[in-house]
Amino acid sequence: MSTSAKNRIGQTRIVGAPVLRKEGVDKLLGRARYVDDIQREGMWPGATVRSTIPRGFIKSIGFDRRINWTEFTVVTAADIPGKNHVQLIHADQPCLADGMVNHCDEAIVLLAHPDKHKLRDAVAAVHIEYEPLPAVFTIEESERQETIVWGSDNLLKSFLLEKGDVDSTWAHAARIVEGEYRTGAQEHLYIENNGMIAEWNDESGVTVWGSLQCPYYVHKSLLAVFDLPEDKVRVIQTETGGAFGGKEDYPSTLAAHAALLAMKSGHAIKMVYDRMEDLAATTKRHPSRVRHRTAVDQEGKLLAMDIEVDTDGGAYSTLSSTVLSRATLHSPGPYVCPNVRVRSHAWATNTVPYGAFRGFGAPQAIFAIERHMDEIAAAIGLNPIELRRRNFLHDGDTTATEQVMRDPVILDKLLDRALSESDYYAKRALFARENPHSAVKRGMGVAAFFHGSGFTGSGERYLNSLAGLDVTPAGKVRVLAANTEFGQGTNTILAQVAAEAIGLDYDDVVMAPADTNIVPNSGPTVASRTSMVVGRLIERAGRQLVAMLREHAELDEHFTSGEFFAACERYRAAQGEVVSLCRYEAPPNIFWDDQKYRGEAYPAFAWSVQVAQVAVDTVTYSAEVEDFWSVQEVGRVLNPILAGGQIEGGIAQGIGYALYEKVVWQNGHMANNQMTNYIMPTAEDVPPIHVFFEEIPFQHGAFGAKGIGELPHDGPAPAILNAIRDATGVGFHAIPLLPEDLFVQLAAREIVAEAAAL
């Protein structure tokens, strides 16, 4: 590490301190303004008429004569002035269905009326006649390609990643272990549903306010739908009540809907989904099927990994290609193996498009490899801890994409700490003694994993983010970034980084509103990139600002806050606005081949080892996580309160993913689209969670930070199912694992055992 890097990440005053959440007081007083809290003059509510079949032609749209439709604004695809698609990676998803629907709950007609009760009656009075077409609902149905529902082959995306020569390895293996692992859909269940307000003005164009992660994604999408120039679309994020990826792409659709109604009605329009509509109509985590075939030698060293990753992408491509990419790259886990082949496919089905959800394909991939490692350990009679230790990546090793680990990798240390904090060996020994005499079987399970920080491969270069700072006449430094706060702490950490880089107090820095008329495009708030990538831009902008003031406004080497802002006013008088912007610069020696899927997949990885203690009740067949430990290396911890909160919250979601959260499908419609029957962990279900950080500053992240937000969701599901295997001796291969699933396998085993005893 260079001397300058050491100085950057050595002694700090504000970075690393538990400063209080920037917008915390507003949230605690109940005065933070979420989209549904905002009223505009003359505003009407808007509503959506949705498809009731999974696939078919729209034969007619009928309007019930009992309704006086002249009171309503009615919008269909014919009213779209620009392109009828949601602009993302591909343009296959219509903004409003036109002639055909490809999933249940697809938007067809939009309505607005000043009275929300009349509006609800009107939604039920739009009668759509369909000519149904055959639909597919599973990966298996889609990959058979008997019914083609997307493109020419149902294949949304595929990747091939190859290292070494897998096929010539099988003959030399001491053991070959195969396994198939499945994960289900998962709902984000942010407590604030999706919502948007839109206004139309013939001169200024479209303005939307909403609950969203990525203002510039919405901006880009509205440009296409309305065929407007960039300065005629304005997107403003309102306080956002949770997102987790669920407000990455969907707000682009909802913003277009609200804006279409606003344009046609001449009124401001508010569309806030209720829970049932949000659950039925918006994105979820991709279901997956991952198959592993692994060759090991006599000592348990990995010789070859042949992996097939298949995901269910839903009806349109949306983000499935990039989710599949991350799943592909994380599928071999944090291990060294000379021969690796990953063949991956995202398949179209006739369900709501699956989208971004914390981890973005990695939780599916890590579930499979980390469950599989325990199956390999069992097959060769080796302790699962020891098997992992023998295969961990270390400094200088190469990953499956032949990325050389140039920065320190401390998996052994993380594992040691996780084992000692959880008292792993003593507990396993204790449970092994107790279990035979108890109806409650306890076990310990481990998962070791990594998570790539930032966009994959050349992604950050393409994003080409711009962010920075300005100084207001009122004497505050403002952070100018399109990165949004939705609970994870963007406001706080970017303000900390700015204050630290300049040499000011935390209170001297405020956030500019996430408004596309005010902030530059610093990229989306996704992919664990805010701390590392955008934070680094803010750090550079802070240093650049100080240098600028020294050169042009006689700022001294050492300065007080008063002297700094006085220098800013001198600069303003002489030179104009005080602004410092920085554009993304890739770390050196980064090379990525998108065709061969080879090279530096990510500029940095965050690492973690988690341990779950689980109790399985063999009377009720319920599994309960009793205790949980998580040790991670995420680079420099910018704020210990926020970082701890990210890890704990991610683990709780991971526990839900493993044991509680099941999306029930009925002919392509989510049947349990209520909080009553889609169950997430409550205050009584979440175990004590013990969080420990090891810090190795990353030279190219803000004051040494790497990504953190997604990492903790990757590990709980495999750690928990490994613990259940330890407790019961039965390896379960699919999540969610509900009591009825436990019952089927455990009771079956008992019946076989009883029969054998007779």
Partner 1 sequence: MSDRHGTIRFCVNGENRAVQVPPMRRLLDVLREDLHLTGTKEGCGEGECGSCSVRMNGELVNSCLVPVLQTEGADIQTVEGLAISGALHPLQHAFLDCGGAQCGICTPGMLMAATQLLSINPRPNMAEIREGLAGNLCRCTGFKRIFDSVIAAAAVSQDHSTEQAAHAR
**Binding interface with partner 1 (CB under 8 A):** 20-21, 23-34, 36-37, 188-193, 239-244, 274-275, 486-489, 641-642, 644-645, 648-653, 674-676, 680, 682-684, 686, 688-689
- Please state the φ and ψ torsions of residue 475, each to the nearest 5 degrees: 85, 45
> Minimum CB separation from partner 1 for residue 69, in Å?
22
Q: For partner 1, give the closer residue by CB, 579 or 686.
A: 686
The β-bridge relationship of strands 73-75 and 107-112 is: antiparallel
Q: For partner 1, give the closer residue by CB, 137 or 628.
A: 628
* Tokens (6 digits) for 739: 């009591």
Amino acid at 130: Y
* Tokens (6 digits) for 184: 């289900």
Compute the distance between CA of residue 327 and CA of residue 336 in angstroms, rounded to an integer.
17
Whether the CA torsion 546, 548, 554, 557 is positive or negative: it is: positive
**Residue 757: Cβ within 10 Å count:** 6
> Minimum CB separation from partner 1 for residue 8, in Å?
26
The β-bridge relationship of strands 269-272 and 195-201 is: antiparallel
> Minimum CB separation from partner 1 for residue 211, in Å?
9
> Minimum CB separation from partner 1 for residue 185, in Å?
16
> Minimum CB separation from partner 1 for residue 214, in Å?
16
> Minimum CB separation from partner 1 for residue 23, in Å?
8
> Minimum CB separation from partner 1 for residue 275, in Å?
4
> Minimum CB separation from partner 1 for residue 356, in Å?
15
Q: For partner 1, give the closer residue by CB, 340 or 494.
A: 494
DSSP code per residue over 643-687:
HHHHHHHHHHHHHHHHHT--PPEETTEETT-STTTS----TTTPP
Compute the distance between CA of residue 489 and CA of residue 464 in angstroms, rounded to an integer.
23
Q: For partner 1, give the closer residue by CB, 521 or 653.
A: 653
Q: For partner 1, give the closer residue by CB, 143 or 685.
A: 685
> Minimum CB separation from partner 1 for residue 648, in Å?
4
Instruction: Yes or no: say if 400 and 389 are a contact pair by the CB < 8 Å rule.
Output: no
Amino acid at 567: A
* Tokens (6 digits) for 588: 């050196």
Q: For partner 1, give the closer residue by CB, 574 or 683.
A: 683
> Minimum CB separation from partner 1 for residue 485, in Å?
8
Strands (E), 113-253: 126-132, 155-163, 175-183, 195-201, 205-210, 233-237
Q: For partner 1, give the closer residue by CB, 308 or 648.
A: 648
> Minimum CB separation from partner 1 for residue 724, in Å?
20
* Tokens (6 digits) for 453: 């920080």
Q: Return the SS3 of 617.
A: strand
> Minimum CB separation from partner 1 for residue 653, in Å?
7
Find the distance separating the first CA and the last CA of the chain, reported in whole Å: 68
> Minimum CB separation from partner 1 for residue 443, in Å?
22
Q: For partner 1, give the closer residue by CB, 355 or 650.
A: 650
> Minimum CB separation from partner 1 for residue 330, in Å?
22
Q: For partner 1, give the closer residue by CB, 641 or 730.
A: 641
Q: For partner 1, give the closer residue by CB, 24 or 132.
A: 24
Label each residue of 91-108 as H, E or C. CCCCCCCCCEECCCCCEE
Compute the distance between CA of residue 259 and CA of residue 330 in angstroms, rounded to an integer.
39
Compute the distance between CA of residue 261 and CA of residue 268 in angstroms, rounded to an integer.
8
Whether the CA torsion 718, 721, 725, 726 is positive or negative: it is: positive
CA 395 centroid distance within chain: 28
Q: For partner 1, give the closer residue by CB, 39 or 575.
A: 39
Whether the CA torsion 128, 133, 137, 142 is positive or negative: it is: negative
Q: For partner 1, give the closer residue by CB, 133 or 510.
A: 510
The β-bridge relationship of strands 339-348 and 302-314 is: parallel
Compute the distance between CA of residue 628 and CA of residue 716 in angstroms, rounded to an integer.
9
Cα–Cα distances in angstroms (integers) from residue 499 to residues 187, 509, 692, in the given order? 37, 6, 26
Compute the distance between CA of residue 528 and CA of residue 519 in angstroms, rounded to an integer.
20
Instruction: Yes or no: say if 154 and 136 are a contact pair by the CB < 8 Å rule.
Output: yes
* Tokens (6 digits) for 481: 């970034």
Phi/psi zone of residue 26: left (φ > 0), alpha (ψ -120 to 50 degrees), beta?
alpha
Compute the distance between CA of residue 397 and CA of residue 653 in angstroms, rounded to an integer.
32
> Minimum CB separation from partner 1 for residue 608, in Å?
15
Instruction: Yes or no: say if 115 and 47 are a contact pair by the CB < 8 Å rule.
Output: no
> Minimum CB separation from partner 1 for residue 166, in Å?
39
Compute the distance between CA of residue 213 and CA of residue 208 in angstroms, rounded to an integer.
13
711: enclosing H helix or E strand: helix 711-714
Q: For partner 1, give the closer residue by CB, 239 or 248.
A: 239
Q: For partner 1, give the closer residue by CB, 373 or 494.
A: 494
- Please state the φ and ψ torsions of residue 31, each to the nearest 5 degrees: -105, 0
Q: For partner 1, give the closer residue by CB, 92 or 239.
A: 239
Q: For partner 1, give the closer residue by CB, 27 or 83.
A: 27
> Minimum CB separation from partner 1 for residue 484, in Å?
11
Q: For partner 1, give the closer residue by CB, 117 or 433.
A: 117
414: enclosing H helix or E strand: helix 411-422
Residue of 202, 198, 213 lying closest to 282 (CA atoms): 213
Compute the distance between CA of residue 403 and CA of residue 239 in angstroms, rounded to an integer.
39
